[in-house]
Structure 1
Amino acid sequence: MTQTQFFSSGLESAKFVVNLDILQDAWTAIRDLCKETSQNEEPSSPVKSKVFDKPNCTIIAFFAWPANSKDYVQGNGGGDFVTSSTLFPLFNFLCTKANPNFSINKTAFQLFSSIDLPSLKSEIDNFKPLIITGNSLGGSVATLFTISLLEKFNFSTTKHPLCITFGSPLIGDENLHEAISKYAAWNSLFLHVVSDQDLVPRVLINGYQPFGAFLFCSKLGCSCFEDHQTILELLTATNSGTPENQDPNKVFESYGTFVKDLNHKVICKDTIDDEPLIDWTTTPLRACIITQLAAIGLVQSQQQQNVDINIIITKTEKRAKIMAILNQQAFDPTRGLNDIKVYMAYLEWYKKVSKDKRVGYYDKYKNKLDMSDIKVEEYMRHLTCYWKDMVDQADKRPQTVGASLRRTRTLYGGTNYRRMIEPLVIADYYKAGKQDYINQGRSKHYKILEQVLKEMEKPLSGPNELKKENVASTLTEDSCFWAHVEEALISCKLLSSGESNDIEKETNKLIEFENYVYGLMKNYVVSSEIFLPESSFMTWWREYREIKGNFYRSHLTGLMNNEENYDKYAKGRLVIP
């Protein structure tokens, strides 16, 4: 078996980023806003913001006042958290059942709370790319502003925003990291540029966790990293600045220099000193990591900073392998989609064959008389695993992302699956001698898929022509229909045998079932297959008619006593009063 080769694309990602004009545009916007702010000795707000309407994008820049030195970020309780339970509802959508609370840096949140949020949101042009940027604590505000957009942001119709921060401190705890990183589309919106000369991104580490991609920069070059544990380790290991030489103005200017110089720098083996750490036995992944660490100045500064570079390389290599494997195994709704379509196509064929045998696919599967029934059982398992994963992942994601399950294509597939497969689950359930499927045996994922459909569908006052025309080929809309049939059969058996301790209760249940079936027929939402001679429904009807006698009359019996109505219903021609 060929051994899997792992690679790291951090250098390639960095090259791509620094060659984009948006990095230069973002920094230029921050610089211009800084100049405007510094001209005013007493700003009216601790955070200044400005919208820059460019031909190719819209930029919203944030600058925090006063100058954001290390002491200002860290001092005066700067490391304190505020929890989501104490925040206003703006960020509630991030909470899930598995991750109900998170914490945000208190200073960052106070600065964010001071901005005119509705006014800034009104400036967003959905037809142009949106860049949100800020330096130091202004970057923290930019990050929170970007998060605030995610609740109602439509990723399918609107260009994605991109948040670019320069020298921003970390803003949240492990739970905030989990809420953002759990969904790749959100995590990819954040790019944090960090200079090896800047202490500010490194002062809030204890109890804090990063999210998004980090572009580490040094005079030698730059590289991107995404693993949060590696980022935390590199924030400490790559620190070339000292408290004594920290001048906020010089650090601020250094980012402009980095943006300008990196755009012209070609990172290659000749420009960095990684020779002592790479030989012919070095694996491709380890060689990539060594080159990345050399590009951000870590290899050169290991003796000055008393850093054991080999330990960092080994840890980074291990995490990169784990991350690559997890990415391969991560749930992807599109993965295996062709197989899912094949399974559903087979079941459609199975349904047609069953109908040709005048038994219906529910009862054919329940009796399991040939190999095709066993094959259906196998396909059922594959389909159920797929949709259980789909529903489970949607339920665990933040609320807005869970709503992706409501998208038309996914909803259509999930509804077809539920209506096709749940009847077969019901068949197995009652064949095993069990009762009360709806309350005792129904899987959670069927309930969720049904609830999502109810929230999206508009109630109909009566049958539409399309349903009438297609009733012969469509699936029964209530996927629990056959559970109701089985319960009605049980009630008939209890009444016929005299075993019931409460005749009135069983009789009322049968009358309720009558009304239920009549309502489905009236709206043409039950398949005409229920009238096939060997179906369980027709078995119920024969037993029920015997119990009630020939003189019993109701809405349903008025339809069922005339067998010509079965064919009329299948053709959509039955007029139901």
Structure 2
Amino acid sequence: MQVLAVLEKSKSMVFTGHSFGGSIASLYALWLLCYLHSSSSSIPIFCITFGSPLLGNESFSRAILRERWGGNFCHVVSKHDIMPRLLFAPLLTHQLHLLLNHWHLSMASQQIGNPAGVLQVPDEDKAEFLRFVLAYLERSSQLAVEGERREMFWPFGSYLFCSKEGGICLENAVSVIKMMHLMVATVSLDECIMDHLNYGDYIGNFSSQFLKRRNFMQGGLGPCSSYEAGLALALQSSGLAWQIQGKKLDIFCSSSRHCDS
């Protein structure tokens, strides 16, 4: 009911979430799209997830595509993050129980500022689990290419794969699964978990690169700090940047003085 109350005052709505929160955000967005479809409303709905597990099988994905809702979802996946790849492996296994214990230890160690907590699970167990997931991920990649997909979890929407070097966006589900496999072929489980926590850095890099490229194409100067980058993105998204393009440099200088003070 709170979502519907907010919706009455909104021109659009964006859902977002990290890890399992991304799955919840996707479900909320799907529910709202169904609700708006039945009420003949045209309010734009968009969902952005970060390191989210997959939600359903190919039939589920096809149902979303049939309603033309695929473009409402963008799933950001970092290069080595294991969470979006996890459900290609069987769920009720000793290995999954092992991962969950390791995952809780790792996340807790990050929250309290103690990275050494990541090492509380024996290396042999971590290596065993990673081999287990990668084996099923490779098998799923092969089955996706061969067309045997009935029981598999299946992606929907657009996928933005990101790393420190840049990113690539894919919409074809088979290509998404193949990319998920290829990008984690030679990593450790600790790297996979640490990468699950680095989305803020990746998005910051993307924002900076986007602004620099856009300003270069327009013959302007790019922002030189995260504060300026955020200000520039806000202005561009609101449409004000075009009205004050000639004063852009003055705005950046003013923001720098504001930060220094």
Q: Show CA shifts across 1:379-432 (max 9, x none).
A: xxxxxxxxxxxxxxxxxxxxxxxxxxxxxxxxxxxxxxxxxxxxxxxxxxxxxx
Pairwise CA RMSD of aligned residues? 2.4
* TM-aligned CA distance change 1:182 to 1:128, over 3 Å: same
2:21 matched residue in structure 1: 138
Residue 7 (structure 2) aligns with? 124
Q: Find the partner of 1:243 among 179, 189, 194.
A: 189
Provide structure 2 residue ranges, at least 5 long, that are not aligned to the other structure. Answer: 89-139, 141-151, 214-261
SS at structure 1 position matched to 2:198: helix
Superimposed CA distance per residue, residues 26-48 of structure 1 (whole angstroms, 9 cap, x where no aligned partner): xxxxxxxxxxxxxxxxxxxxxxx
2:173 to 209, 212, 228: 228
2:206 aligned partner: 262
Q: How far apart are the structure 2 equivalents of 1:190 and 1:245?
A: 27
Matched position secondary structure for 2:49: strand
Aligned residues: 148
Other-structure match for 2:153 = 208
Q: Hey, what's the Cα distance between the residues in 2 that align with 1:168 and 1:211?
A: 12
| Residues 18, 49 of structure 2: 8 Å contact kept | yes
1:540 maps to none
1:161 equivalent among 45, 48, 51: 45
Preserved contact between residue 83 and residue 196 of structure 2 (Cα < 8 Å)? no
Label 1:241 to 1:193 Cα distance change in 2 as closer, same or farther (>3 A). Answer: farther
Structure 2 CA distance for partners of 1:142 and 1:219, relative to 1, 3 Å: same
Asked if 1 retains the 8 angstrom alpha-carbon contact of 2:77 and 2:161, the reply is yes
Q: What SS does the aligned partner of 2:153 have?
A: coil
Amino acid at match of 2:175: T
1:195 corresponds to which residue? 78
Distance 2:75 2:7 in 1: 22
Q: State the shift of 1:262 in Å.
A: 1.0
Query: Aligned partners of 2:9 and 2:168: how far apart in 1?
Result: 31
Contact 1:126–1:159 (CA under 8 A) maintained in structure 2 = no
The code of the aligned residue for 2:167 comes to: C
Q: Could you tell me how far apart the structure 2 residues matched to 1:156 and 1:263 are? A: 35
As a proportion of its length, which structure holds more strand? 2
- Equivalent residues in 2 for 1:4-83, closer than 5 Å: none
* Aligned amino acid, residue 235 of structure 1: M
Alpha-carbon deviation of 1:126? 5.1
Other structure's SS at 2:209 match:
coil
1:522-533 residue pairs with structure 2 within 5 A?
A: none
Deviation per residue, 1:166-219 (Å, 9 max, x gap) = 0001110111011001232x1111000000021111111351111100011011
Distance 1:188 1:231 in 2: 15
**Where does residue 105 of structure 2 map in the other structure?**
none
Distance of aligned partners of 1:242 and 1:124 in 2 relative to their CA distance in 1, 3 Å threshold: farther
The one-character-per-residue Cα deviations of 1:444-482 (angstroms, maximum 9, x if unpaired) are xxxxxxxxxxxxxxxxxxxxxxxxxxxxxxxxxxxxxxx
**Are residues 153 and 137 of structure 1, via their aligned partners in 2, closer, same or farther at CA, if it must alter by over 3 Å?**
same
8 A Cα contact 1:196 1:241, kept in partner:
no
User: Which residue is equivalent to 1:150?
Assistant: 33
Q: Structure 1 residues 246 and 218, CA, compared in 2 at 3 Å: closer, same or farther?
A: closer
CA distance in 2, matches of 1:203, 1:242: 14
Secondary structure of the structure 1 residue equivalent to 2:63: helix
Q: Do the aligned residues in 1 keep the contact of 2:33 with 2:45 (CA within 8 Å)? A: no
Paired AA for residue 244 in structure 1: D
1:223 deviation in Å?
A: 1.6
**Matched residue, 2:162:** 217
What corresponds to 1:508 in structure 2? none
**1:152 shift after superposition:** 2.5
Residues 43-442 of structure 1 mapped to structure 2, 5 A cutoff: 118-125=1-8, 127-154=10-37, 157-184=41-68, 186-205=69-88, 207-239=152-184, 241-247=187-193, 250-265=194-209
Please list the CA deviations of residues 289-326 of structure 1 after superposition, one character each: whole Å capped at 9, or x if unmatched.
xxxxxxxxxxxxxxxxxxxxxxxxxxxxxxxxxxxxxx
Conservation of the 8 A alpha-carbon contact between 2:161 and 2:168: yes
- Bigger Rg, structure 1 or 2: 1
**CA distance in structure 2 between the aligned counterparts of 1:244 and 1:252, rounded to whole angstroms:** 10
Structure 2 letter corresponding to 1:265: Q
Where 1:191 maps in the other structure, the secondary structure is: strand
Output one character per residue of 1:315-359: Cα deviation in whole Å (capped at 9) or x when no partner. xxxxxxxxxxxxxxxxxxxxxxxxxxxxxxxxxxxxxxxxxxxxx
For 1:143 and 1:210, locate their aligned partners in 2 and report how far apart those are by CA, in whole Å.
12
